[in-house]
Structure formats: C-alpha cells, structure tokens
Amino acid sequence: MSTNKMQVPENKENLNSIVHLAQTLLLRIKDKSSITPMLIAEKVAIVLALDPEMADGVDTQNVIDELVRRFSLWIGEDSILSSDEGHEAWLNAARKKDWRYWSRYSGWLERKMSATAVDSLGESTDHILGLLEDPKREGAWDRRGLVVGHVQSGKTGNYSGLVCKAADAGYKLIIVLAGLHNNLRSQTQIRLEESFLGYETSASGDAVKMVGVGEIDSDTKIFPACFTNRSNNGDFNTKVANHLANRPEERPWLFVVKKNKTVLERLLKWIRNHVADATDSSGRRYVSGLPLLLIDDEADHASVDTGEQIHDADGLPDDEYQPKAINSRIRKILHSFSKSSYVGYTATPFANVFIHRRNATKDEGPDLFPSAFIINLAAPSNYVGPARIFGLNRSEGRTEGLPLTRIISDHVNADKTGGWMPAKHNKEHIPSVDGVDTLPKSLEQAVNAFVIACAVRNLRGQTAEHSSMLIHVTRFTAVQGEVHRQVENQIRRMRQRILRGIDQQETLVQLHSLWTTDFEPTYTEFCELAGRDEGLAPPMNPSWSSILDALPQVLEDIEVKMINGTAKDALDYANSEGKGLKIIAIGGDKLARGLTLEGLCTSYFVRTSKMYDTLMQMGRWFGYRPGYLDVCRLYTTEDLIEWFGHIADASEELREEFDVMVQNGDTPKDYGMKVKAHDILLVTSPLKMRSAETLHLSFSGDLIQTVVLHTDEVPLEKNLKATNKLLESMGVPTERTPTKNRDDTKDQLSGAFVWSGIGHETVIEFLSAYSTHKDAYRVNSAMLVKFIEKMVIHGELTSWTVALMGVSKGNGGAYTFESGITVDSMPMRGSNSLGKGKYSIGVLTDPSDEGIDLDDLEWTAALNMTKAAWKPDPARNRINQPTKPSGKMIRIVRGLGTSDIPPSPDRGLLLLYPVSPLSEGAKELVPKNWSGPIMGFAISFPASESGETVAYKVDHLKWEEEYGAAD
C-alpha cells in the first residue's frame, strides 16, 4: 500500500472552497445513506467544471478524502442535569429569527467543518442558552451552569457559539476568563476574533482587518466592541476602556481576560465605577439593566475556592469568610450585576461539583456551584480520547487501545534517583545521559518520529497544515531551556547532514529503521482496525523513497520553541495560516492546560503527577487527527500509561453515573452530593474537594472490587484461610451453576456456587479477616466493615447472597477448598500493571456476575433502564446499544426497586474470585511453591436512600508524596 505520487503544493483556500461547494451540493441529497465516495467524486468534478482554476494547487483526492470524513461523521447526544428553580423558559424559534452573530459563525464553520458537526453545535448551544435566563427578562436573576467536554474536544468552539447566540439574544456584556497565562489568553482572543468579533484587535488600534466571521458578514454596525487585544500583553486595560465611545445598548462588549488577581480587580473596579448605575441598601454599587454572561474556561482551575468555609448547625455559611483571591473576584463581578449568567467549561469537573452549594458571603454573593445545570457534551466520532488511546478495562486486562503509545524508561537511571530527567529534580538540574550532554535515545527517536510524521503529512497533501511535537518533562523554566538547547542541537545536526549530504548515513539508517519497524507495521494495524471502525482508515502510505525526497524541506521548516511565561509562540499559528508550521514545543505548566498545539503528532511526556484532573488536562494529545492519526505517537512511561488507563475508567464510571441521574430527573445538587461521596475521587486533590482532613464516603449503589492483589505468601495464606472459614460456615450451597432466563436466552454462570440468605455477621467476619492491599485505596476492609455496620442499623445490608465464581472450562487449574467444594478451573485475570512488580488487574467482575441474584423480572427492568439511560458517544466507545444491563442499573433495581418491583436495600452481594496463580502478571510474582488461588472479592452494594457514610482520613503529606501537589 504505497505510492510514489508527486506531491502537489497545497492551496488551502482553493481546497476549502471546493470542499464547501461540493458539501453544499451533497447536503441537497435527502437520502444521506446514498452518499458514497463515488458520488462525492462526481460532485467535486461538477464544482471543478464550473471553475477549473480552483484546481490550482489542489489534489482532488484530498478533497474527496475530506468529504468522505465529513459525511461519515456522527455525533452522540448531550446529557443534561438541570434545575428549573427560579427559571423561566424562553428560547423558541421566534427569538432566534434574524440572529446575525450565529448566522455568520455557522456559515464560517461550514467552510471547514461538516454540516453534521455545525448542526450538532447549534443544538448544543441552544440547550445551554435556553438553560440560562432570557436577557430581556425583567427583575434580578442569576443562573450558574457547567459544561463538561472532553480534553481537546472543541470546548472553545462551543463557547464561541454560545457567545454569538447570547449576543444575538440580548446579552450586553460578555466576559471570557481564559486561563492563567498570557499566551493562552492571547490564543483565546484570536479565536474569538475569528468566531465573534470578525476583526483583528491590536494594541495600537490600527486599521481593522477582517478575519473569520467578518469575511462572511462585514457590516461594521454589528461588530462587537472589545476591550482587550490579541497581543501577548493585550489584557484588560482601563485606559483603552475609558476611551470607548459606544455603549453596550448599541452593540455587545467583549472582554477576554486572564484569571489574574490584578486584572480581575481592575475589571471589577472599572465595572463599579463606570458601568454600575444603582446602589443597594448597603451602599454596594451594581449594574441594574445590562445583562452579563461570564464564561469561565478551564473552570476547575484557579476559579475554585480551596479554602474551608465554616458552616453553622443549619448549614448556613459564615458570610465574613474571605474566599481565595481569584474565586473572590469572579464572584464579586457576578455580584455586581442584577442580571447575570455564569457558564464554566472544563473536561475535569469534579472540583466544581465539590463546591458547597450553600456557600455565600456578603461581598461575593453565592459560590460558583453550577446550581442551574451541568451538561456533558458528546464528542464526534472522529474524536480521539482516553478511551480510544488507552482502551477499556476487561476481565482479561486492558484491551483495544490504539497502537500509538511507546514506553520509555531511559530518561532516568535504573534506581530512578538520577539520569537525564529524574522524577525529583530542582531548577538547577542539568539534563545529561551518563554525564554526557545529550538526549536519551528515546527522545532522539521521538524527534525522528516527528520528522517522519511531518514528511508523511506533506506527502499526503497536508503541507499547509500545522504539525507540532510536545516535549513535557519538567515544570522548571531553566531546565526547559536546557532541553530546548539539546533538542535544537539534534535538529541542527540532522539538518546539516541531510541538506548537505555530509556524514548522513547514520541518520538515514536510524530514520529508515524507525520507518520499517514502527511506522509501516502501525499503518498495517490501522488498515486492519479500519475493518471494524471505518473512521480509522488511514490515507495511502508513501514509499520510503518519497520520504527521503521530503526530508530536506521538512528539516528546514522545523522550529524548536519554548512555551513559557515570556514566550509569544502561541501567536505563530494564527500569524502563519496556510504556511504549515512545524513546531517542537518544549514547556511545562503552560502546556498542561488549555493551550492548543495545532496538528499535534508526537508527544514525549514524563511528568509524574497522578491527580485525576491534572493528568487529564496534560493530555494534549487527545483531539482530532484527520488523515494522520496513524503517524501520531505518545512516548511515555509505563506508570503513566497505567494511570491514564485508570483515570479513563474513572471518567467513564462517573459519566455513567451522570447518565443514570439524567434518566432519574435529578438536579446538579444531587450530582454534587453523589460525586463528593464517591470513593474513586480519592485521586484528586483534597484541597479542591474543600475537605482538608476528612472525606465522607458512601458505598451505596457502588461496586467495590479488589483490583490490586497480594502476591506474598503471608497475605495469600491469610486470605485463603478467611475464604475457607467463610465457605465452611455457610454450609451446602443453595445453587450450583445457576441458570437464568434472560430475554428468551439461557445465561449460565458455569462453575459458580451460590449461597442465599447469609447474615451480615458472616460477611463482616470474612471482611475483618481478609487483608486488602495497601495500594487498593478503593477497597479497605476496615472501612467496608464500618459501612456495613452503619447500614445494618437502618435495616439495610442484613441479608446477603454470596457466590464463589469458578469457571467450568479453562487453563487456570482446578482447586478444592477445605469445605470440599471444587472449582473446575480458577478464573484467569490479566495484569494491568505493565510488569512493574505489582499484580494489578483490569477488572475482577462484570455485570453478568453482579446479576447472579436477580430474577428475570429484575434483570429485564435493569436492562430497560440501561437502554433508556444509554446514549451513543464515540469518545467513550459507546456505539452499539447495550444487550445486558449495566452494573449501576442492577444495583439500583436491587436496592430501590421499580414501580413493579419492591425495594430491597437489605440485599447485599459478595462475589468471591479464586484467581489462578497462573494468570499473566501473577505467575511471575507469586511464590513458586504456591498453587492455591489468589483470593479476590467484589461487593455489589444495592442503591440506598439512607445517606449513610464512613469517614476517610487524609494525610496531606503522604498524599503529595504519592500523587504530587495540586496544580
């Protein structure tokens, strides 16, 4: 599958014009299923026949490929939790008539996006705007919501659409909080120029240049006024603002500002002194008539108050409390308007839902809890997120991840205390390999991979598209400077050797070896994956000789840049549209949040934070990679791949929880309470959780399972002994190999033994004798015992089903317990710890096992509820409707019942798994003389309305040693 086709110099403007016109013709076809590549080619030919000059600098196959991608795109449905308290429905078709800001934005988007994506964005922003208040509504009102997207999935495009529609509807002041750093604020300003303003802003106020939507509708009478500009230092400046002549009654005002104490204080004073037109009884000045929309990008970062506000016995806050600086000023700005709407955007929302919903102070007003709504955005089918890169957890281990990750370890010495970039280093660290001022081989290879990726993209006709590489290894600017120097030296050497043809053989051998051992096999894998997912089909692969021809131009174009507090590199993409920059970006915190690296192909990543939200935000490699996904690479450590897999699972679990609550008609308040008590969130900062010492956890409605298991002989023996005692005490099983009727099919749990009506005392005795692993933070025997004891007081968890889960056929080996019960084969479980000396598995159980105690009516009810709550979302690998109930719905039906099924929160389920010591990952770790099982267990807790919790003490010093500091 190779081609030596000559490279066509790409004219991006012509290509976009052909795509737009051909897409318009294709959209007129009513039956979209009839749109095939052949039909697309016919429409492209019609467009070119109308104006042959448009073909200049365009490879028509690239046009066809782009249209095929657009018309194969599909997008799932957003999920919405909302509260109507104090809200009046208002948005209808009549209000949307003649909306010019949205009209020109959607028209501009259709030039570069599929109509499906634009329509989906329109629906999504309608939902959000409709949940805000009508800007023309009389009286005082305040709405606060949260929009949850996926990392690098297009949140900026979403809130740009919301800004346009809000301005159309009548919101007069629009403030966008755009990160903590100048380059991110500048990047956001540029995007809003394209999507909303329609003109470039500059510090000098020079003649207006039309950009983006201004090219669609250049009527300057509707151009919004903007108080900030695109320069690196273009943040809010009162001198500029004071000289603006127009008023927001005439056209909207836009501010794009950093989350910076000084800037926000300056903006607050300006609003109170120049815009406020009324005074309340306490003398506080406020704006009475102009409605405000405040959009908070990366809303979980810096905006959340990490202080601990005191509440009285009635739950009321101390209104003299002083919130943290940025949180305080955001709230004061909102409190300065009688009509205001706040919308936070984030991919990691958990800090936001931890906000106490009743926090309020005299000066700041209420806290930023999203009391009005929380929306989970669905991503398009071409989005590549954690679930696709790192795969899904299965009982046999983690599977199905895309073949893009490459494990590295040579950045540190064998003992991990020294080397090129050890985990712990200071700002004076000089990176070196065995004392030599050079890069580790893994980073040299990553740079080579980026060079090849750029060449492939050029040969696929993407010369006008930007390509980037991310190197994220340290937070210290001085150390970043050393890395920059070393990488620049490597590129310089490669450039000199290839361009001059001097001493180039070694470099060419390295590149060719990487091509044949990595890129060609990966291309073949993608071709095979395309058989199951057409969206993964890669374009034609070039030949090695074509790569050689492309190398000189690629190496000449590559620039190595630092992204830090003094750099202006974020502006380069916007100022180089159509030139196809090739950037190697080296940075730390500036690359960790919000900053988009256009055309990111290669990432080299060794940061060690393990906090959920910090790690997810560092995942700059998630996003859209049309036509070049197969050449993307992520070079990182085994530990980080394992942790990313873990947090991808955590994210999916909590989104499933959200879907269930949507189906139940719950509100954001309910979700906040549920998430705050969820044990999986022990992987986020206790400070952000607003709980400095103690977390209160509930296990009701949860599945708890041992996924980190002992391999030392003493705890292995202890846990087997606890199991033998439990089996002996329960006597003869109630069932052997139970068979259930499931939707006209037989579901046989082969090899299982079941006991019914077991008292809670027996289960507590087993848990008290069982030794859970110290790294299994989700499963702590003592905490589980305390929880069950508390629930028993309420009459819950008093009657248990216990099941011993063997398999009838397998290679795990038979085992006979002391009670005489024999499992024909111990179940096998694949390791999820990448050979790091710890037997950590993917999952122990699955919903079929959890349903072992359900009758047919209960099973069917759980399945129907699962289907009702399920929504397609390719970012979460949710494509085909489920055929079995989810564990969450099984636990809801068991505990809360339905209209036809009585609740039974007294029913607990304990599943025992005698995992085979022959399992991958275990056989290398267990003692050679150990032939018995590695005993694991799972508890399926029925859903409950009791609200009972147990306390979990947090040691902040140990927390930071394990997970790193909060960002």
pLDDT surpasses 50 at 962: no
> pLDDT at position 288, please?
94
pLDDT band at 876 (very low <50, low <70, confident <90, very high): confident
Residue 336: which of 277, 418, 399, 421 has the closest Cα? 277
Q: Are 255 and 227 in contact (CB under 8 A)?
A: yes
Most confident stretch, 12-16, 360-364, 862-866: 862-866
Q: Identify whether the C-beta of residue 334 lies closer than 8 Å to the C-beta of residue 217.
A: no
Backbone angles phi, psi at 284, to 5 degrees: -75, 130
Q: Are 940 and 890 in contact (CB under 8 A)?
A: yes
pLDDT in tens, 246-284: 567 778 999 999 999 999 999 999 999 889 999 988 888
Residue 799: exposure state from Cβ atoms within 10 A (0-12, 13-18, ≥19): middle
Res 393: pLDDT: 65
Residue in 615, 621, 623 with CA at minimum distance from that of residue 642? 615
% the chain with pLDDT above 70: 82
Beta bridge partners of 212: none
Per DSSP, the residues of 802-847 read EEEE-BSS-SS--EE-TTS-EESBPPP--BSSTTSSSEEBS-S--H
How confident is the prediction for the chain on average, in pLDDT?
83
Question: Which tens digits make up the pLDDT trace of 98-108?
Answer: 899 999 999 99
Average pLDDT score over residue span 409-436: 89
Mean pLDDT in residue range 892-916: 95
The pLDDT value given to residue 554: 95
For residue 491, is pLDDT > 70? yes
Greatest alpha-carbon span in the chain = 90
Mean pLDDT along residues 703-711:
89
- Indicate if the pLDDT at residue 673 is higher than 70: no
Q: Which band of pLDDT confidence, cut at 50, 70 and 90, is reported for residue 741?
A: low
d(CA 886, CA 801): 19
- Mean pLDDT value across residues 74-83: 84
Q: State residue 665's pLDDT score.
A: 85
Residue 961's SS3 state is helix
Q: What is the pTM of this model?
A: 0.76
725-729, 737-741, 897-901: range with lowest mean pLDDT: 737-741
b or e along 633-666 (b: 16 or more beta carbons within 10 Å of the residue's beta carbon)? Answer: bbbbbebbbbbbbbbbbbbbbbbbbbbbbbbeeb
Is residue 936 pLDDT above 70, yes or no?
yes
Mean pLDDT of 893-897: 94
pLDDT computed for residue 132 by the predictor: 97
Grade residue 530 by pLDDT with cuts at 50, 70 and 90. confident
The per-residue pLDDT for range 766-786, each reduced to its tens digit, is 999 999 988 776 688 988 999
Task: Please list, residue by residue across 470-504, b when 16 or more beta carbons sit within 10 angstroms of its beta carbon and e when fewer do.
Answer: bbbbbbbbebbebbbebbbebbeebbebbeeeeeb
pLDDT at 565: 54
The more confidently predicted of residues 660 and 546 is: 546
Question: Is the predicted pLDDT of residue 731 greater than 80, yes or no?
Answer: yes
**Per-residue pLDDT averaged across 287-298, rounded?**
94
Residue 576 pLDDT > 70: no
For the segment 857-872, what is each residue's pLDDT rounded down to a tens digit? 999 999 999 998 888 7
Tokens matching residue 236: 């809010």
> Quick one: pLDDT at residue 606?
85
Most confident of 228-232, 419-423, 522-526, 958-962: 522-526
Q: Which of 341-345, 537-541, 594-598, 650-654 has the highest mean pLDDT?
A: 341-345
Give residue 95's pLDDT: 94
Instruction: Compute the distance between CA of residue 556 and CA of residue 499 in angstroms, rounded to an integer.
Output: 8
Type and span of the H or E element at 801: strand 799-805
pLDDT of the residue at 961 = 47
As a whole-number percent, the residues of the chain with pLDDT over 90 amount to 45
**Which residue's entry shows tokens 């070079």?**
635
Residue 618 banded pLDDT, cuts 50, 70, 90: low
Q: Does 678 have pLDDT greater than 50? A: no
* Residue of 171, 159, 144 lying closest to 334 (CA atoms): 144
pLDDT band at 677 (very low <50, low <70, confident <90, very high): very low
What is the CA 515 to chain-centroid distance, rounded?
A: 31
Between 125 and 959, where is the model more confident?
A: 125
- The pLDDT value recorded for residue 956 is 44
* Cα–Cα distance for residue pair 387/421, rounded to 1 Å: 29
Across the range 414-422, mean pLDDT stands at 85
User: How does residue 438 score in pLDDT terms, banded at 50, 70 and 90?
Assistant: very high
> For every residue of 525-589, which 3-state class applies, written as one string?
HHHHHCCCCHHHCCCCEECHHHHHHHHHHHHHHEEEEEECCCCCHHHHHHHCCCCCCEEEEEECH
> Looking at the predicted structure, is the pLDDT value of residue 803 above 90?
yes
Please give the pLDDT value at position 837.
62
Residue 870 has what pLDDT? 86
145-178 per-position pLDDT tens digit: 999 887 777 888 999 999 999 999 999 999 999 9
**Whether pLDDT at 688 is above 60:** no
How long, in residues, is the chain?
Answer: 967
- The mean pLDDT of 693-711, rounded to a whole number, is 81
Q: Which amino acid, one-letter code, is at 786?
A: K
Structure confidence at residue 3 (pLDDT): 39
* pLDDT value of position 569: 47
- pLDDT higher than threshold 50 for residue 349: yes
Q: Is the pLDDT of residue 381 over 70?
A: yes
pLDDT at position 841 is 83
Please indicate whether residue 365 or residue 90 has the higher confidence score (pLDDT): 90
